[in-house]
Amino acid sequence: MAGIPEEQWAAAAGALHTAVAADDSILLVCHVNPDGDALGSMLAVGQALTALGATRVRATFPGPLVLPEPFAGLAGRELLVAEDQAPAQPGLLVTLDAAAESRLGRFAALLDQVPSVVLDHHASYTGFGQYPLVDTRAAATAVIAAELVERLGVTIDRGIAECLYIGLITDTGSFKYDLTTPAVHRLAAALLETGLNPGEISERVFDTRPFGAVKLYGEVLSRAVLEPELRLVWSTASLADLERHGLAAYVLEGLIDGIRCAAEAEVACLLKQVGEREWAVSMRSRGAGDVSRVAVALGGGGHRAAAGFTGKGTPDEIMGRIRNALGD
Q: Which domain holds residue 123?
A: 6-205
Residues 6+ apart with CB under 8 A from 234: 224, 225, 227, 259, 268, 269, 270, 271, 319, 322
Q: Is 231 helix (H, G, I), strand (E, B) or coil?
A: coil
According to DSSP, residue 80 is labeled B
Q: Quick one: 225 and 196 in the same domain?
A: no
| Total Cβ atoms within 10 A of residue 125 | 19
For residue 134, the model assigns a pLDDT of 97
Q: How far is CA 284 from CA 118, 250, 302, in A?
A: 25, 18, 10
* Shared domain check, 76 and 195: yes
Confidence of residue 2 (pLDDT cuts 50, 70, 90): low
Average pLDDT over residues 150-174: 96
State CA 52 to chain mean position distance: 25
Q: Are residues 23 and 150 in the same domain?
A: yes
Q: Are 292 and 123 in contact (CB under 8 A)?
A: yes
Q: Number of folded domains in the chain?
A: 2
Helix (H, G, I), strand (E, B) or coil at 272: strand
Check: CB of residue 305 under 8 Å from CB of residue 284: yes
Residue 1 pLDDT level (bands cut at 50, 70, 90): very low
Task: For residue 311, give the CATH number of its domain.
Answer: 3.10.310.30
Q: Is residue 240 part of a domain?
A: yes
Asked if 69 and 186 sit in the same domain, the reply is: yes
Flag whether 253 is in a domain: yes
> What average pLDDT does range 121-136 have in this prediction?
94
Please indicate, yes or no, if residue 1 is contained in any of the structural domains. no
Lowest mean pLDDT among 97-111, 179-193, 287-301: 287-301
Phi and psi of 183, rounded to 5°? -65, -35
Residues 6+ apart with CB under 8 A from 127: none
Alpha-carbon distance 268 to 305, whole Å? 10
Burial class (CB in 10 A: 0-12, 13-18, 19+), 136: middle
112: left (phi over 0), alpha (psi -120 to 50) or beta: alpha
Is pLDDT above 90 for 147? yes
Are 193 and 265 found together in one domain? no
Cβ atoms of 310 and 281 closer than 8 Å: yes
Q: What is the pLDDT of residues 248-303, one digit of tens each?
A: 988 998 899 899 999 999 999 999 999 999 999 999 998 777 898 999 899 888 88
Residue 155 has pLDDT above 70, yes or no: yes
- Residue 78 located in a structural domain: yes
pLDDT tens digits, one per residue of 33-89: 899 999 999 999 999 999 999 999 999 999 999 898 899 999 999 999 999 999 999
Task: Note the pLDDT tens digit of each residue in 18-31.
Answer: 999 999 999 999 99
Q: Which of the listed residues 163, 188, 205 is the one where a domain comes to its end?
A: 205
Quick one: pLDDT at residue 139?
A: 95
Do 173 and 216 have their domain in common?
no
Q: Which of 205, 222, 254 is the last residue of a domain?
A: 205
